[in-house]
Structure 1
Amino acid sequence: MKDLRFINFVIVLILTIQTNNLFSQEILIKNEDSWHYYDKGYLENDWINITDFSNWKSGKSPLGYGDKKNNTTLYYGEDKEKKHISKYFKKRIFINKKYGGFEIKIQKDDGAVVYINGKEIIKDNMPNSTITNTTLAMSTIKNDAEHEFTQHFFDYSIFNEGENIISVSIHQAYEKSSDCIFSLELIGHNNPEVLSLILDKKNKTNEELEHKIKDLNTKFEYEKVLLQKESLEGTNYNLKILVTLISVLFIISLFGYYFIIDNSKKRRLIKREKIKILNKENQVKDKIIISLSTNLLHNKQYFKEIKADLKGLKTSENSALKSIINQIDQVLERDEEWNILKNHFNAVHDNFYDKLIAKHPEITETELRHCMFIKLHLHTKEIARILLIDPRSVQTGRYRIKKKMNLGENEDLRDYLLNL
Structure 2
Amino acid sequence: MNKLPILKKILFLLLFFQISLLFSQDLIIKDHDYWSYYDKGGLENDWVELADFSNWKSGKSPLGYGDDKIITKLDFGGNKQRKHITKYFKKILNFDNNYIAYEFKIQRDDGAVVYVNGKEVFRDNMPNSTISNSTFALSTIKSKQEHLFKQHFFDSSIFKKGKNIISVSIHQSYRTSSDCIFSLELIGHNNPDILSFVLENKDIKNQELESKIKDLNAKFEYEKIVLQKQSLESTNYNLKVMVSLISLLFIMALIGYYFILENVKKNNLEKNEEMALIEAKNTKKDKEMITLSTNLLYHKQYFKEIKADLKGIKTDDKSATRAIINQIDYVLEGDEDWTILKEHFNAVYDNFYDTLIAKHPTITETELRHCMFIKLHLHTKEIAKILLIDPRSVQTARYRIKKKMNLSEEEDLRDYLLNLVE
TM-score (norm 1): 0.43
Larger-Rg structure: 1
TM-score (norm 2): 0.43
